[in-house]
Structure 1
Amino acid sequence: MIEGVETRKLQVNTDERGHLVEMFREDWDEYDPEPAMSYFSMSYPGVIRAWHRHTRGQIDHFVCPQGRIKIAVYDDRDDSPTQGEVNTFVIGEHSQQAVQIPGACWHGFKVIGNEQAFLVNFPTNLYDYEDPDEERLPHDTDEIPLDWGAEPHE
């Protein structure tokens, strides 16, 4: 696993009415430092939202409460023992997890399956509309060794 990446299986509490899943608790180690905000995005089947990274210390925490996504993280940090590694995680309704992503690593996701997906993020920094903390690369860049069309694995 890439240094700084962590996962937490989320408990799904189910009964005849549906289910309830806790996405954030201040007593979970994966949320240290604590989030500064939260947001969700909705994406259509097959959409790829990649690649981006943050340069000001932000840590992202991704959860997919509806649909199914493949998250990818690429570590190109010079000082990292996992430099050059790629991690992928398939999460969503079938596998409720929170994935912690060091913002300095390139990351993104692809909606897999035939349904739209919702991604919830709990970043540790507030979004700065005047000066966003983002660097971007196209999803099909040659700089990152990942083929988004390849079969996902968990």
Structure 2
Amino acid sequence: MIKDVQVKKLVKHNDDRGFFMEILRDDDQLLTRFGQASMSRTYPGVVKAFHYHEHQDDLWFFPVGNAQVVLHDLREGSPTKGETNVFYLGEDNPLLLVIPKMVAHGYRVLGNMPALIVYFTTASYDPDKPDEKRLAWDDPDIGFDWTTKNR
């Protein structure tokens, strides 16, 4: 796994009324600081990739729908530089995923329903100096194939 990426398995407590699930706690020690919480909905089949941050870490959670999440380590001097990891997050696999700065990340919505992503960052968004660097979804240096592999 890419160095400094962290995963927290979430536990649902189900009963005849529904379920309860803790998402993020202050004693999880997953974020170095709290900056902002945001939410976005993405439609089936859409690929939103790639971007990275120079100054902030992200923590991703998909409470609705399912997504294929791809990370690629861009960090000079990292023992995992150039490594790509794939995670499946969402209703079928409730996880928190911490994405360190300088790790490119993106996702593809799986299935036939939109996905909802809730994400937390270690810094608030500054529209005058956005910490948002973009790479193409099909960046040749990453070389990730987003098509579903029928097995």
Same fold (TM over 0.5): yes
Asked if the contact 1:70–1:89 (Cα under 8 Å) also holds between the matched residues in 2, the reply is: yes
> Aligned equivalents of 2:12 and 2:124: distance in 1?
29
Residue 29 of structure 1: how far off its partner (Å): 2.5
- Residue identity (%): 37
> Match of 1:42?
41
> Aligned equivalents of 1:61 and 1:35: distance in 2?
10
> Aligned equivalents of 2:16 and 2:40: distance in 1?
28
Residue 138 of structure 1: how far off its partner (Å): 1.5
Asked if the contact 1:35–1:123 (Cα under 8 Å) also holds between the matched residues in 2, the reply is: yes
Asked if the contact 1:5–1:102 (Cα under 8 Å) also holds between the matched residues in 2, the reply is: yes
> Aligned equivalents of 1:35 and 1:65: distance in 2?
20
Runs of 4+ deviating beyond 2 Å: none
Aligned AA (1:78): E
Q: Which has the higher strand share?
A: 2
DSSP-derived class of the 2:27 partner: coil
Equivalent position to 1:103, from 90, 101, 104: 101
Aligned AA (1:9): K
Aligned AA (1:99): L
Aligned AA (2:21): V
Residue 150 of structure 1: how far off its partner (Å): 4.0
> Match of 1:146?
144
Task: Give the unaligned 5+ runs of structure 1.
Answer: none
> Aligned equivalents of 1:125 and 1:6: distance in 2?
18
> Aligned equivalents of 2:86 and 2:29: distance in 1?
21
Residue 103 of structure 1: how far off its partner (Å): 2.2
After TM superposition, the score normalised by the length of structure 2 is 0.94
After TM superposition, the score normalised by the length of structure 1 is 0.93
> Match of 1:13?
13
| CA deviations over 1:91-133 (Å, ceiling 9, x no partner) | 1111110000012111111101111000110111100011110
> Aligned equivalents of 1:150 and 1:113: distance in 2?
11
- Provide the alpha-carbon RMSD of the alignment: 1.3
Asked if the contact 1:26–1:34 (Cα under 8 Å) also holds between the matched residues in 2, the reply is: no
> Aligned equivalents of 1:10 and 1:108: distance in 2?
21
Residue 24 of structure 1: how far off its partner (Å): 1.0
